[in-house]
Amino acid sequence: MAQDSYTEFANTGFGKKLTSALGLPQPAKLRRYRPEDPIIHGPVMVIGSTEASDTLARHLLGWGLDVRRHIGPKDRVAAVVAMFDSVATPAQLSETVLGVGGLLKQLKSSARVITVFRDPEHTEDPAVRAARKGVEGLTRSLAHEMRAGGTANGIVLHEELDMAAPSVAGALRFLLSGRSAFVSGQFITVDSVNGTLPTDWAAPLAGQVAVVTGAARGIGAAIARTLHRDGARVIAVDVPAAGEQLARVANEVSGTALQLDITRDDAGERILDHAEQYYGRLDIVVHNAGITRDKLLANMDSSRWDSVIAVNIESQLRMNRALLNSELFNRPEGTVGPRVVSLASTSGIAGNRGQSNYAASKAGVMGMVSASSAQLQARHGTVNAVAPGFIETEMTAKMPLATREVARRLNSLNQGGRPEDVAETIAYLASPAAAGTSGLTLRVCGQNLVGA
Amino acid sequence: MAETPRDAVIIGGNRIPFARAHGAYAKASNQAMLTSALNGLVARYGLQGEQLGAVSGGAVLKHSKNFNLVRESALGTPLDPRTPAYDVQMACATGTEAIGSLANKIKLGQIDSAIGGGVDSISDAPIVVSDELRAILMEATRAKSAGQRLKALAKIRPGHLAPQAPGTGEPRTGLSMGEHMAITADKWGISRQEQDELAVASHKNLAAAYESGFFDDLVSPFKGLNADNNLRADSSMEKLTKLSPVFGKDLGENATMTAANSTPLTDGASAVLLGSEEWADAHDLPKLANFVDYEQGAVDFVDGAEGLLMAPTYAAARMLKRNGLTFEDFEYFEIHEAFASTVLAQMKAWESADFCRDVLGLDQPLGSIDRSKLNVHGSSLAAGHPFAATGGRIVATLAKLLHGKPGKLGFISVCAAGGQGITAIIEGR
């Protein structure tokens, strides 16, 4: 992983002064999740007087947070939850928005602004949809305006959904916590009352079995570690050629190593056999394995194109068919079903020069995820994608220095994310507390300016 | 078959790819290689923190500093450090002996789980000083005064300083293993063509096994090597017949042993996980096969009464008799290819009515071995032969071959330096 020396420098006393005087980007040290830390340090303001806001406030109080409705002009604020759940016209946005605006100068570092509103697509009323779309727009803009590692994100509720649904609380807690350090300008949709909140928030995946493909290094290894930390037993999968590093990761997370080329026709069956033999169950599948074979399309050959498609999307489609046919993926009514999380990429959203193959595969992942949601929901499960932006990995460390430096700063947090940031979002989407969210592609990109 | 109190189950194995000496693992120590093989096994079967009954194995070429090689290697893994570990050594049969004796302990109920294996490095072999120099140094150590010490050290002569690398020569005959085998091959009339054909088959079979993914859960990479680097998938009779003999050259026209039909010096390590049925079940582990029985043998090769590598021929006869079995009862045969001629000479001996009657004392010959059942996924000629690691390779390969074939039997023969050898029986489940 390449050292981000600029961020180190900008966080020194002299660095802060210099970067400020020169108007240079000021990347902050982000608040990242540690199980022993509080969800967030400091008061959480809830703005909005609807019944729904009381429901959310009760959740926050239940977690021991310092929830406020009003706050003194000199008090510092850790987070603002802005309730837009009942807006019916764009004109109605102003009271809550200006309430949020008045607090922005009082925000602590790595603060959170979370907007809560109903899904714009669920209404045919032009004024209502305009108002709800307005919340999207203002949330994204606010994310650009946040400073000192702060983020702004939205929770989008299904039209009929009760605010007390477990996954609303799950999303709220994820966004408040350090788990979402590198998530900004994004929206988490909650569609159903599915889901359960953990008895122990430090081990939300306790008792569950998770498969992580591409687990030998980089983001995959971080996912394996994070799922293990959250209580899951991990099956670490990678190609036989990566076996030495795979064993290291599997031993580190007290899991089992499965050397497997996921492009094999029977890869899904082999994973299922392994899960059945060693654990007798399978709850979480993280399709992380992926490759890049960059070339301008004019110079693309079939081996570069086909291998990327085969590894990054065809294998996932084939494995998902096997998983969905498996008894291990069936769950009785009233329990949380299997959860699948796939790695997409911001390249799949915005496209990227030299990555037509990669972008096709990753856009394909997002298509697969949205189209598979019904099948997973029929098993009380979910399928979602995570689209990382610029992440500090062995792969990005190989980029030319100037390109890497530019890529790092091209987002609202002015820095690259870490593999752990991607892993935290995956662990959240894989948790029973996110069972009401499915078919979503959630970006972990610090609000990358590309493909916003 | 012989009754035992309970089964010893082979759960699985792991080895690092075998590497030709002074190549990919030139800078890897025995301990590093064995630790890697063990770590891969622990990872595959989720044994982190597990206290096993024992870890046993060894190395044929070993530094004196590695007096506790297996224990030190096991301590480098996530296994519970309270797992006992110890070294055994029986030349090229080290791995098989380690596994066999662990299986016996499991059958007797002394332990419930174990790892057996071995490692060898030609590239990291111990270099020793001459006996003369060693005597002088020991004398200096015993000296009570500086004067005495200087007097002792003054005896050192330049000639004493030449280091001595270990060889594969037999201490009692001075002949290399290859020269010994050349004598046996000549005695049994093993042709060059038969040997080359066996070598080609070994390469083809091993390459096909890799290609099919057979080794995906038996081998994990080490130091950037993903597969045995002695493997030549394009090996052919055409290429092999061009080579000149390297052993038995004084046989002239009858010299048949070349670099291709003899195993190269190799570095590598292997490990096999064993357990009782109950232990395997309690840990949700697969049960590939049972380690049924094994037999050691030794022959009088010093006086030339028998070939150096023929001991398994004798061990097999005793082992089959004890278990009431014949070759017809076996589905697969794994005969370690120290040299192609070793395999062929053993098989000729078992086919020979005279030998079986006069030497082994049998009523009838043990019979011939169907070549389609022999070393079906390749053997040492292709994979290479890091002496103590070969047993683990063979046991794990055969156990996987027999998995899903309950009751089907596999036969193992491993020859060893010093005129010794081991045979073993494995039963699929």
pLDDT tens-digit readout, A343-377: 998 888 888 888 899 999 999 999 999 999 999 99
Cβ of B43 and A256 within 8 Å?
yes
| Residues B117, B103: Cα–Cα separation, whole Å | 12
Cβ of B43 and A251 within 8 Å?
yes
Tokens, residue A4: 């981000």
For residue A355, give how far its alpha carbon lies from the nearest alpha carbon of chain B (Å).
28
For residue B301, give how far its alpha carbon lies from the nearest alpha carbon of chain A (Å).
42
Q: State in Å, rounded, how far the first CA of chain B is from the last one.
A: 15
Asked whether B341 and B376 are in contact (CB, 8 A), the reply is no
pLDDT digits (tens, 9 = 90+) for B138-152: 888 888 888 888 888
pLDDT at A451 over 60: no
- The answer to whether A40-176 and A209-444 have equal CATH topology is yes
Specify the higher pLDDT residue, A253 or A409: A253
Percentage of chain B beyond pLDDT 70 is: 98
Q: Give ∠ CA A144-A176-A408 in degrees, rounded to 5.
A: 40
Q: Does A265 touch chain B (CB under 8 A)?
A: no
Cβ of B226 and A240 within 8 Å?
yes
Secondary structure (H, E, C), B7-26: CCEEEEEEECCCEECCCCCC
| Residues A446, A409: Cα–Cα separation, whole Å | 10
Asked whether B173 and B301 are in contact (CB, 8 A), the reply is yes
Phi-psi region of B189 (alpha: psi -120 to 50; beta: other; left: phi over 0): left
What pLDDT is recorded for position A452?
39
Q: Does B284 touch chain A (CB under 8 A)?
A: yes
Look up the ipTM and state it.
0.84
In this structure, of A164-178, A322-336, B413-427, the range with the lowest mean pLDDT score is A322-336
Q: Which positions in chain A touch B225 (Cβ < 8 Å)?
A: none
Surface of B (30-49) touching A: CB under 8 A = 36, 39-40, 42-46, 48-49
Mean pLDDT of B276-281: 97
Q: Does B285 touch chain A (CB under 8 A)?
A: yes
For residue B394, give how far its alpha carbon lies from the nearest alpha carbon of chain A (Å).
20
For residue A281, give how far its alpha carbon lies from the nearest alpha carbon of chain B (Å).
12
User: Among all residues of chain B, which has the CA nearest to that of A264?
Assistant: B213
Mean pLDDT of B264-268: 94
Q: Which positions in chain A touch B40 (Cβ < 8 Å)?
A: 243-244, 247, 257
Q: What are the counts of helices (DSSP H) followed by strands (DSSP E) for chain A?
A: 16, 13
CATH 3.40.630.90 is right for the domain spanning A40-176: no
Block residue for tokens 């049960």: B287
Cβ of A257 and B44 within 8 Å?
yes
Phi-psi region of B398 (alpha: psi -120 to 50; beta: other; left: phi over 0): alpha
Beta strand B289-298 with B113-120 is unpaired
Q: Does B404 touch chain A (CB under 8 A)?
A: no
Phi-psi region of B332 (alpha: psi -120 to 50; beta: other; left: phi over 0): beta
In this structure, of A56-65, A393-402, B28-37, B84-93, the range with the lowest mean pLDDT score is A393-402
pLDDT mean across residues, chain B: 93
Q: Does A254 touch chain B (CB under 8 A)?
A: yes
Tokens, residue B14: 């792991």
Q: How far is CA A218 from CA A52, A207, A256, A358, in A?
A: 41, 25, 18, 18
Cβ of A240 and B215 within 8 Å?
yes
Give the number of beta-carbon pairs within 8 Å between A and B.
Answer: 74
pLDDT digits (tens, 9 = 90+) for B227-258: 999 999 999 999 999 999 999 888 888 899 99
Q: Which CATH architecture has domain A209-444?
A: 3-Layer(aba) Sandwich (3.40)
Domain boundaries, chain A: 40-176, 209-444
Q: Does A239 touch chain B (CB under 8 A)?
A: no
Asked whether B428 and B350 are in contact (CB, 8 A), the reply is no
Tokens, residue A258: 């499965």
| Residues B277, B275: Cα–Cα separation, whole Å | 6
Cβ of A240 and B219 within 8 Å?
yes
Q: Which residues lie closer than 8 Å to A2 by C-beta, 6 or more apart? A: A392, A396, A397, A404
Tokens, residue B81: 């450090």
Tokens, residue B60: 């044929």
Q: Which CATH architecture has domain B9-125+266-282?
A: 3-Layer(aba) Sandwich (3.40)
pLDDT at B412 over 70: yes
| Residues B64, B278: Cα–Cα separation, whole Å | 38
What pLDDT is recorded for position A14?
75
Q: Does A264 touch chain B (CB under 8 A)?
A: yes
- Nearest by CB to B284, which of A247, A257, A278? A278
In this structure, of A9-13, A133-137, A355-359, B181-185, the range with the lowest mean pLDDT score is A9-13
pLDDT at B391 over 90: yes
- The answer to whether B9-125+266-282 and B177-217+242-264+293-424 have equal CATH topology is yes
The CATH number, out of the four listed (3.10.290.10, 3.40.47.10, 3.40.50.620, 1.10.443.10), of the domain defined by the range B177-217+242-264+293-424: 3.40.47.10
User: Among all residues of chain B, which has the CA nearest to that of A275?
Assistant: B284
Reported confidence tier of residue B136, pLDDT bands at 50, 70, 90: confident
- Nearest by CB to B216, which of A251, A255, A260? A260
Q: Which residue, A63, A75, A65, A69, is CA-closest to A108?
A: A75
Of the candidates A6, A33, A279, A358, the residue annotated as catalytic is A358
Asked whether A138 and A101 are in contact (CB, 8 A), the reply is no
Q: Does A255 touch chain B (CB under 8 A)?
A: yes
Domain boundaries, chain B: 9-125+266-282, 177-217+242-264+293-424
Instruction: Spell out where A293-430 has E strands.
Output: 339-343, 382-388
Asked whether B177 and B338 are in contact (CB, 8 A), the reply is yes
Reported confidence tier of residue A450, pLDDT bands at 50, 70, 90: low
Enzyme catalytic residues of B:
92, 385, 415
Give the sheet arrangement for strand A151-157, strand by strand.
A67-68, A44-47, A77-83, A107-118, A151-157, A187-190
pLDDT digits (tens, 9 = 90+) for B23-76: 999 999 999 999 999 999 999 999 999 999 999 999 998 888 889 999 999 999
Q: Which positions in chain B touch A248 (Cβ < 8 Å)?
A: 39, 43
For residue B47, give how far its alpha carbon lies from the nearest alpha carbon of chain A (Å).
8
Interface test with B, best of A234, A244, A253, A269 (most B CBs within 10 A): A244
For residue A251, give how far its alpha carbon lies from the nearest alpha carbon of chain B (Å).
5
H/E element, A284: strand A284-287
pLDDT digits (tens, 9 = 90+) for B179-207: 999 999 999 999 999 999 999 999 999 99
What pLDDT is recorded for position A24?
72
Cβ of B43 and A254 within 8 Å?
no
Query: Does this model's pTM top 0.90?
Result: no
User: Among all residues of chain B, which has the CA nearest to that of A259?
Assistant: B216
Tokens, residue B126: 């111990």
In this structure, of A18-32, A39-53, A361-375, B278-292, the range with the lowest mean pLDDT score is A18-32
Percentage of chain A beyond pLDDT 90 is: 74
